[in-house]
């Protein structure tokens, strides 16, 4: 990562890039005009800088080069009708796994979403195949047959196999979708075994992968074959190669030919023991199948890499010439993916990462690369190379990520998508960006953000990162911040229309995540922020094997110029602090503010001099020090919320807790949680009546189902609690309306946000918002009746606090009880 002072220096560069973007660099694409789904005047929109998280599987229509899908790994899909200049997010309940355009019908596209088995942290998910026949505007479930649902209740809260939920469903998760080009009624699904969401491929399973087929346009489905392996990488209908009676399938450990009538398998030669990636194309000279296998260098002898088959998998030819360009002696590049032009399979683009010993201070050696072949792999040539200092060929036009960070932040592409009918058009996606070439790799242009003439940026709709809060400047209604995972902190001076990074002065090891920002309510341009490079807290995945956080860094910083520059405040705070929340005592002297910071894994630190020095303030706390939030009521009473933790490789639960202090954190006394709860997540105090508080809780698992979680209300300062919301169990946060505190908003980790106008006695869902993993609900203090909803992976939704009644929510036949 480059020194973050480059943020300021990059403003002029972004202004230049704004003029260059999509003009004068490459040629224009063919295809239809941009289009957008019809929407009511009041709607939800997404704000932020764009990009910033993993982007996957760019998939281009064979009929229209401007019609593109991609997705993030935090549940949303994205569609563009103008080649990636603008994107619209699509919420299809779970993380997308594959896209497939019907090769015979221009408006028809399929999306498969991941299924996963139950866990306390994430619940469970059902794998679904959706079809849209109107270019992604409306979606219909075609697998499984939801009209045969056997379980009609909140689906994510219980551990059920798919076959226990829907009659005829198979117990697996769809990985690949393929429509037979000879007959669109024939659809193939490749299914992997179910695992819990975070366990992924590391979880031991005995179930094989499956090949499933429909021959009636998805009306019915039949298991055609069990496959050797657990991951389906490619399904190739025989009609591609004049073999209508068979299907070739490649998994991570096998290449097989399957008889379409009987399902009988014939194992074919495989080029290596393990296969990473598979893709094909069919041109004038027939079908070519490419696979990637791990490349190794043993004393100068290269094994693995890229292989091509010209005879339908009967034999394989190693095609690595040119891929060892400038790779250190004795090493081999890492090649994760490639993209084949489906109608001209001689043209392939490939992602590569140079050897491990490449020195980062060598300005001439590439580390991250895209290579291309125009002769079916006979030789490969680089078309985009970069290292820690920039792009070696000066052929990339970027945006804010490329100004603030070096190319290693995004790295080499995760996936590459080539236009089926145009080998000059390729879209690459990586850990934070999407970018494209229109001229066969000569030049590349980013398509994850929109550069503005003043050096700020605006989202084009590809919003792919987690955020925590929206933080308002009390002196300027157009100035506020979004605190983000992975990309730190962004601010707007235009009421959210455009954004700039706010990390100048933050120590480089901290800048991954800003968890919170707190303004001084009486001193203009003074504010504090909490930071840590342990992101995504308090999710289970961050606790690792030990459940401790000593390996991370972070802390608290102050700005005296409205967030343009920051200064770390480290006197008395350990270097390995992960700051998650900051509280300012508004009654303390302006020149020596009393501050509190929650440090995840270490408890609470207090300052009585505006942050110049800090002291630990943990007297009375138990063993759990996963301090997540600190709150203050109007009488000065403090409340400390400690997150649920994990230890011993996640096998032991450390119960969360709630404490209170009447002596400015000199000592803490426990507040009893609601019976059965161990995962408090958020606390809100009624500003009109301090004894009335609301406690959000996360699910507690018992007998493989959710029994805890929801929202509780107390009228007596925490002596007793009443559950007032249990429609979903993973309630991430609550907010009280600043005009009327009887109105409560909830954001949940289960596809919904909610509103109550009677202190929680009754609820209605905010229609039009269906992002799966919601974070916080934040009323817009400057625009009554408007609401921000922060998300785990989709930036910030902004819309009417009443929701959008009657809004169409992507899918027309998903059982409402499941949501």
Residue 514 located in a structural domain: yes
């070096």: which residue's tokens? 406
Name the band, by pLDDT with cuts 50, 70 and 90, for residue 455: very high
Mean pLDDT of 304-331: 97
Domain with residue 495: its CATH number is 2.130.10.10
Dist CA 673 CA 681 (whole Å)? 12
Name the band, by pLDDT with cuts 50, 70 and 90, for residue 20: very low
Dist CA 741 CA 716 (whole Å)? 17
**Token duo for residue 752:** 């919904």
Mean pLDDT of 686-692: 97
**Token duo for residue 371:** 């290579």
Residue at a domain's end among 227, 246, 267: 227
Length of the chain: 819
Chain-centroid distance of CA 577 in Å reads 25
Q: In terms of DSSP bridges, do strands 286-298 and 301-309 run parallel, antiparallel, or are they unpaired? A: antiparallel
Same domain for 681 and 617: no
Dist CA 343 CA 347 (whole Å)? 9
Tell which residue, 67, 60, 65, 58, has the closest CA to residue 35. Answer: 67
**Token duo for residue 120:** 């306390």
Same domain for 619 and 481: yes
pLDDT at 652 over 70: yes
Mean pLDDT of 431-446: 99
Dist CA 140 CA 172 (whole Å)? 20
Q: What percent of the chain has pLDDT over 70?
A: 94
Residue at a domain's end among 227, 247, 271: 227
H-run or E-run covering 15: helix 6-20
pLDDT at 604 over 60: yes
Name the band, by pLDDT with cuts 50, 70 and 90, for residue 222: very high
Residue 385 located in a structural domain: no
Percentages (nearest 5) of helix, strand, coil residues in the chain: 5, 40, 55
Dist CA 75 CA 772 (whole Å)? 7
Dist CA 614 CA 603 (whole Å)? 13
Residues 6+ apart with CB under 8 A from 176: 97, 98, 112, 188, 189, 190, 232, 233, 234, 235
Dist CA 735 CA 93 (whole Å)? 24
Per-residue pLDDT, 204:
56
Dist CA 732 CA 157 (whole Å)? 15
Same domain for 745 and 702: yes
Dist CA 343 CA 282 (whole Å)? 5
Residue 369 located in a structural domain: no
pLDDT at 22 over 50: no
Which has more confidence, 26 or 443?
A: 443
Mean pLDDT of the chain: 93
Dist CA 495 CA 788 (whole Å)? 13
Same domain for 223 and 125: yes
Taking a C-beta distance cutoff of 8 angstroms, is the pair 763, 756 a contact?
yes
Per-residue pLDDT, 27:
38
pLDDT at 11 over 50: no
DSSP per residue, 248-276: EEEESS-EEEEETTT--EEEE--SSS---
Residue at a domain's end among 205, 227, 249: 227
Domain with residue 766: its CATH number is 2.120.10.30
C-alpha to C-alpha distances, 279 to 250, 291, 308, 341, 546, nearest whole angstrom: 9, 7, 10, 10, 40
Which domain does 686 fall in, by range? Answer: 675-803
DSSP per residue, 637-661: -EEEEE--EEETTTTEEE--EEEEE
Chain-centroid distance of CA 477 in Å reads 30
Give residue-wise pLDDT tens across range 565-586: 999 999 999 999 999 999 999 9
Taking a C-beta distance cutoff of 8 angstroms, is the pair 231, 220 a contact?
no
Name the band, by pLDDT with cuts 50, 70 and 90, for residue 205: low
Per-residue pLDDT, 734:
98
Same domain for 798 and 694: yes
Give residue-wise pLDDT tens across range 504-562: 999 999 999 999 999 999 999 999 999 999 999 999 888 887 888 889 999 999 999 99
Per-residue pLDDT, 23:
41
Residue 314 located in a structural domain: no
Residues 6+ apart with CB under 8 A from 34: 66, 81, 82, 85, 86
Same domain for 666 and 697: no
pLDDT at 33 over 80: no
Same domain for 664 and 698: no
Same domain for 586 and 520: yes
Residue 555 located in a structural domain: yes
Same domain for 588 and 490: yes
Tell which residue, 406, 402, 330, has the closest CA to residue 366. Answer: 406
Mean pLDDT of 795-813: 96
Residue 246 located in a structural domain: no
pLDDT at 86 over 50: yes
Name the band, by pLDDT with cuts 50, 70 and 90, for residue 605: very high
**Token duo for residue 415:** 């996936």
Neighbouring-strand partners of residue 532: 513, 554
H-run or E-run covering 796: strand 796-800
Which has more confidence, 106 or 151?
A: 106
Which has more confidence, 250 or 12?
A: 250
Mean pLDDT of 609-618: 98
Tell which residue, 142, 132, 133, 166, has the closest CA to residue 152. Answer: 166
pLDDT at 64 over 50: yes
Give residue-wise pLDDT tens across range 738-796: 999 999 999 999 999 999 999 999 999 999 999 999 999 999 999 999 999 999 999 99
pLDDT at 113 over 90: yes
Same domain for 584 and 542: yes
- Is the peptide bond preceding residue 431 cis, with omega within 30 degrees of 0? no
Mean pLDDT of 447-465: 97
Per-residue pLDDT, 14:
54
Q: Within 13 A of 367's CA, how many CA atoms are on the CB side?
A: 19
Tell which residue, 440, 459, 456, 438, has the closest CA to residue 448. Answer: 459
pLDDT at 682 over 90: yes
DSSP H helices, 93-215, are 162-165
Decide: residue 208, CB within 10 A, 0-12 exposed, 13-18 middle, 19+ buried: middle
- Is the peptide bond preceding residue 163 cis, with omega within 30 degrees of 0? no
Taking a C-beta distance cutoff of 8 angstroms, is the pair 310, 286 a contact?
yes
Dist CA 789 CA 337 (whole Å)? 35
Residue 142 located in a structural domain: yes
Give residue-wise pLDDT tens across range 398-408: 999 999 999 99
| The model's pTM | 0.94
Dist CA 111 CA 95 (whole Å)? 10
Tell which residue, 289, 382, 290, has the closest CA to residue 333. Answer: 382
Mean pLDDT of 615-638: 98
Name the band, by pLDDT with cuts 50, 70 and 90, for residue 26: very low
Q: In terms of DSSP bridges, do strands 753-756 and 457-458 run parallel, antiparallel, or are they unpaired? A: unpaired
Q: Structural domain tally of the chain? A: 3
Dist CA 679 CA 681 (whole Å)? 6
Decide: residue 2, CB within 10 A, 0-12 exposed, 13-18 middle, 19+ buried: middle
CB atoms within 10 A of CB 20: 12
Tell which residue, 432, 437, 436, 435, has the closest CA to residue 501. Answer: 432
pLDDT at 5 over 50: no
**Token duo for residue 254:** 């096998």
H-run or E-run covering 280: strand 277-283
Tell which residue, 810, 778, 13, 797, has the closest CA to residue 390. Answer: 13
Same domain for 636 and 600: yes
DSSP per residue, 85-97: SS-EEEE-SS-EE
pLDDT at 285 over 90: no
Tell which residue, 609, 467, 492, has the closest CA to residue 562. Answer: 492
Same domain for 765 and 698: yes
445: helix, strand or coil: strand
Tell which residue, 603, 652, 605, 607, has the closest CA to residue 625. Answer: 603
509: helix, strand or coil: helix
Dist CA 90 CA 112 (whole Å)? 13
Taking a C-beta distance cutoff of 8 angstroms, is the pair 723, 710 a contact?
yes
Residue 19 located in a structural domain: no
Per-residue pLDDT, 546:
80
Per-residue pLDDT, 18:
52
């Amino acid at each position: 990562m480059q020194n973050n002072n480059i943020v300021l220096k990059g403003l002029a560069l972004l202004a230049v890039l704004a003029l260059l973007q999509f003009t004068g660099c490459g040629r224009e694409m063919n295809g239809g005009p941009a289009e957008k789904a019809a929407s009511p005047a009041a709607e939800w929109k997404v704000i932020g800088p764009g990009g910033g998280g993993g982007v996957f599987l760019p998939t281009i229509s064979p009929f229209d080069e401007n019609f593109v899908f991609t997705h993030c790994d935090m549940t949303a899909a994205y569609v563009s009708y103008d080649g990636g200049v603008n994107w619209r997010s699509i919420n299809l309940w779970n993380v997308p796994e594959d896209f497939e355009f019907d090769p015979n019908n221009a408006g028809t596209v399929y999306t498969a979403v991941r299924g996963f088995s139950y866990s306390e942290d994430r619940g469970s998910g059902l794998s679904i195949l959706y079809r849209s026949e109107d270019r992604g505007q409306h979606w219909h479930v075609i697998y499984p047959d939801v009209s045969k649902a056997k379980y009609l209740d909140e689906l994510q809260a219980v551990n059920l196999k798919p076959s226990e939920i829907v009659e005829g469903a198979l117990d697996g998760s769809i990985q690949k979708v393929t429509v037979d080009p000879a007959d669109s009624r024939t659809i193939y699904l490749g299914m992997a075994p179910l695992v819990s969401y975070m366990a992924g491929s590391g979880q031991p399973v005995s179930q094989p992968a499956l090949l499933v087929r429909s021959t009636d346009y998805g009306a019915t489905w039949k298991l055609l074959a069990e496959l050797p392996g657990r991951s389906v990488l490619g399904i190739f209908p025989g009609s591609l190669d004049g073999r209508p009676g068979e299907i070739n399938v490649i998994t991570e450990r096998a290449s097989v030919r399957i008889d379409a009538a009987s399902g009988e398998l014939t194992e074919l030669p495989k080029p290596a023991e393990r296969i990473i990636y598979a893709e094909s194309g069919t041109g004038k000279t027939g079908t070519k199948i490419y696979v990637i296998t791990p490349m190794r260098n043993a004393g100068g002898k290269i094994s693995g890499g890229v292989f091509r088959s010209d005879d339908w998998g009967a034999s394989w030819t190693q095609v690595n010439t040119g891929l060892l360009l400038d790779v250190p002696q004795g090493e081999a590049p890492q090649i994760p993916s490639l993209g084949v032009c489906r109608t001209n399979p001689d043209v392939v683009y490939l992602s590569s990462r140079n050897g491990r010993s490449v020195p980062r201070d060598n300005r001439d050696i590439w580390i991250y690369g895209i290579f291309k072949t125009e002769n079916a792999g006979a030789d490969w040539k680089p078309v985009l190379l970069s290292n820690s200092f920039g792009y070696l060929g000066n052929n990339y036009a970027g945006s804010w990520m490329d100004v603030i960070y070096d190319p290693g932040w995004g790295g080499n592409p995760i996936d590459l998508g080539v236009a089926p009918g145009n080998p000059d058009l390729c879209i690459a996606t990586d850990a934070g960006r999407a970018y494209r070439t229109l001229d066969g790799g000569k030049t590349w242009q980013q398509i994850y953000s929109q550069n503005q003439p003043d050096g700020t940026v605006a989202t084009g709709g590809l919003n792919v990162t987690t955020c925590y809060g929206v933080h308002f400047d009390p002196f300027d209604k157009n100035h506020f911040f979004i605190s983000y995972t992975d990309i730190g902190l962004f601010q707007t001076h235009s009421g959210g229309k455009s954004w700039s990074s706010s990390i100048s002065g933050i120590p480089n090891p901290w800048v991954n995540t800003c968890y919170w920002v707190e303004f001084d309510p009486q001193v203009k341009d003074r504010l504090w922020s909490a930071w840590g490079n342990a992101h995504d807290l308090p999710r289970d995945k961050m606790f690792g094997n030990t459940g401790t956080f000593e390996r991370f860094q972070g802390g608290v910083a102050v700005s005296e110029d409205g967030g343009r520059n920051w200064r770390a405040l480290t006197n008395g705070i350990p270097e390995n602090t992960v700051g998650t929340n900051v509280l300012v005592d508004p009654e303390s002297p302006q020149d020596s503010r009393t501050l509190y910071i929650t440090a995840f894994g270490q408890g609470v630190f207090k300052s009585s001099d505006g942050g110049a020095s800090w002291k630990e303030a943990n007297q009375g706390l138990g063993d759990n020090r996963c301090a997540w939030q600190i709150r203050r009521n109007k009488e000065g009473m403090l409340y400390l919320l400690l997150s649920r933790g994990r230890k011993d490789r996640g096998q032991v639960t450390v119960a969360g807790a709630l404490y209170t202090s009447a002596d400015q954190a000199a000592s803490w006394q426990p507040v009893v949680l609601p019976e059965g709860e161990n995962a408090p997540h958020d606390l809100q105090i009624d500003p009109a009546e301090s004894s009335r508080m609301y406690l959000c809780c996360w699910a507690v698992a018992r007998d493989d189902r959710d029994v805890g979680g929801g929202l509780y209300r107390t009228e007596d300062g925490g002596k007793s609690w009443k559950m007032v919301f249990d429609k979903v169990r993973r309630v991430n946060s609550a907010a009280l309306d600043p005009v009327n505190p009887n109105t409560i908003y909830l954001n949940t980790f289960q596809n919904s946000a909610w509103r109550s106008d009677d202190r929680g006695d009754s609820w209605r869902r905010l229609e039009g918002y269906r992002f799966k993993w919601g974070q916080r609900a934040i009323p817009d203090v400057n625009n009554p009746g408007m609401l921000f909803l922060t998300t785990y992976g989709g930036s910030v939704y902004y819309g009417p606090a009443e929701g959008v009644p009657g809004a169409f929510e992507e899918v027309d036949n998903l059982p409402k009880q499941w949501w």
